Chains A and B, each alone.
Chain A
């Protein structure tokens, strides 16, 4: 059986064979209600997600803009906990076809759950990787150890402000893929991609062969198209969440992910 890292690597390889960037939707678990969030995640899978990023809510998400702040706040009010996130991931995993899952969550709830126990829970739930936005590699040893034991990828983020020596450090330590934060800022839809994005992606590509997925702010098909021509993956969060909010959210999410998949042709 493939472990988490292999599962993620295979998903990027498959997209590459199809001459596409991998499409990676982000959805916070438990928003707007637990059942509904599962339906939204399934819609993202049906739409053709290559990987799925599932958010674990935290009371103080300091890397997130208002949309994700509000959604995770709502999820917490619904009584969502780390344990329930693991249960929900497990439920989703029961589907016949399913892409790799990565959890996106801040460090404190993981610490409170117990780092090793959490990683065992991830394996049990079929979660393949973790993104922890407030955990740079310098502080990641403990979680890395526990991930390694379970074959789970700990995915680090690299930012436009990261100097070459940090890009190198992150590239060495990140597993599965590297998360490129497109902007110097927090999550949230943006009208335009930063003008220096191509240069930034190239800077990282010079240093590593690992797949690069770009996230933060990507909110339209043309933007996804541009990113797909540069990188190996496109992560879309806030805009998807915005579309998930209406009554027809499930249909909207499915359609938007399918559209992103068409847009993410490398060409």
Chain B
């Protein structure tokens, strides 16, 4: 555990990103010129909104009465007992309206879009949760909404495709590249470049060009702020360990950020897929040969790439983690050794999925199951008075097809 002194050394979170959008070496704005002035506008609009009490009032009202916040911090007694060791608490983002943490960000950004006078939203989606959350916000605020989704993801997250349709969203199938999240982002950016004057790009993770990593983080820190208060009320002390899965990195940064100046350890869990040595994974930090500093989708960060700088196809059982780059702030936090990153394989995540279903009566998203898997590994190594908070970023209804197919095959 970091001691108090070096915690104070790392009081960076108020000042980063810097004015150019960098977290140390990571971040920035690597986009076509067409988007540069829009990003400036977005940055200004966001700073204005941030300083405007009426913006917060409206957002907080929606988070309370529409999303159902605060989400519970639930003590998973059975799981803790079975692991033997630390107390495991689950931050129940799966209970947020539309089924995942994604709604915290989409409502914030949709309100921002409206302030900017933009009434057409475009978004990418992998697991479909961000697409559903965007379509939800668009329906609520009366906006047009176009969602790009890889055809491979449309097949494996079919219920979410139906939900987007029901909510009035237009889902555009993407058939290029690996037909997953990366390719959906390419298409969403192409749409945005082509319609930039009328269209707001509602990016779904702490990724992309500045100021998106900042905006998404800020809207997601509600998770960590609530969890901090809730655990202090429940246990009378800070947690010892926070665990969250890391796709682009929004649910994890949302949980971690409000604790960065506290003596609290943190672990981000990437998708280990079929194992690091197979190359079929999405663990940017776990595979030094493939995961190297690069530029993708507007930001400088760790990217899975071949020796020639071509972006590699990724694999994960969970569509939401199946992405070759990681949010720039995570690259920075890793360099600072403030957050530790590890991975869970498909098999480990599946085991954790079933464990949580049967032990706690909670069906988690496969993404979130990666975090649960790490908690199951860690809890026995900690004492009974120690506390782990796991971010249960979403619910698993969308994954039933995937899981049941695997069960049938076994």
Contacts and interface: CB of A to CB of B under 8 A. Distances in A.
B partners with A: yes
Interface of A: 58-60, 62-63, 65, 69, 73, 76, 81-83, 107-113, 133-136, 138-139, 156-163, 166, 170, 181, 184-186
A76 B177 CA distance: 12
A59 B36 contact: no
| The 9 A-B residue pairs with the shortest CB-CB distance in the complex, in nearest-first order | A112-B309, A109-B309, A185-B194, A159-B34, A59-B310, A81-B308, A159-B33, A108-B309, A59-B311
Nearest to B190: A186
A54 to B, nearest CB: 16
A136 B36 contact: yes
A181 B34 CA distance: 8
A63 B32 CA distance: 7
B127 interface: no
Contacts of A163: 37
A107 B36 CA distance: 16
B374 to A, nearest CB: 30
Interface string B279-313: 00000000000001111111010010101111100
A67 B250 CA distance: 34
A136 B194 contact: no
A156 to B, nearest CB: 7
Given A60-B182, A107-B30, 19 more contacts: A59-B177, A60-B296, A62-B190, A62-B297, A113-B308, A134-B30, A135-B30, A138-B20, A138-B28, A139-B30, A139-B300, A159-B33, A162-B33, A162-B37, A166-B37, A170-B33, A184-B196, A184-B197, A186-B194
Contacts of A60: 177, 182-183, 186, 296-297, 311
A159 B32 contact: yes
Interface string B1-43: 0000000000000000000100000001111111111100000
Most chain A C-beta atoms within 10 Å of own C-beta, residue among B182, B303, B308: B308
Nearest to B293: A111
Contact of B28 (A69, A83, A108, A139): A139
Contact of B309 (A110, A170, A184): A110
A76 B292 CA distance: 20
B337 interface: no
Interface in B256-299: 292-298
Given A111-B294, A112-B294, A134-B298, A156 B182 contact: no
18 contacts: A59-B311, A62-B297, A69-B176, A108-B296, A108-B309, A111-B293, A134-B295, A139-B28, A157-B33, A160-B34, A161-B36, A161-B37, A161-B38, A161-B196, A166-B37, A184-B194, A184-B197, A185-B34
B182 to A, nearest CB: 7
A108 B298 contact: no
A166 B38 CA distance: 12
B310 A109 contact: yes
A112 B20 contact: no
Contacts of B305: 108, 112
B186 to A, nearest CB: 5
Contacts of A138: 20, 28-29, 36
B31 A136 contact: yes
Contacts of B298: 134
B213 to A, nearest CB: 15
B181 to A, nearest CB: 12
A157 B32 contact: yes
B296 to A, nearest CB: 6
B45 interface: no
Q: Which of A76, A111, A160 has the most CB of B within 10 A?
A: A111
A36 B230 CA distance: 66
A144 to B, nearest CB: 15
B152 interface: no
A38 B65 CA distance: 63
A50 B183 CA distance: 35
Contacts of A166: 33, 36-37
Given A108-B295, A108-B296, A133 B193 contact: no
B310 A76 contact: yes
Given A60-B186, A62-B190, A184-B194, A156 B33 contact: yes
A65 B182 CA distance: 16
Contacts of B177: 59-60
A73 B179 CA distance: 14
B241 interface: no
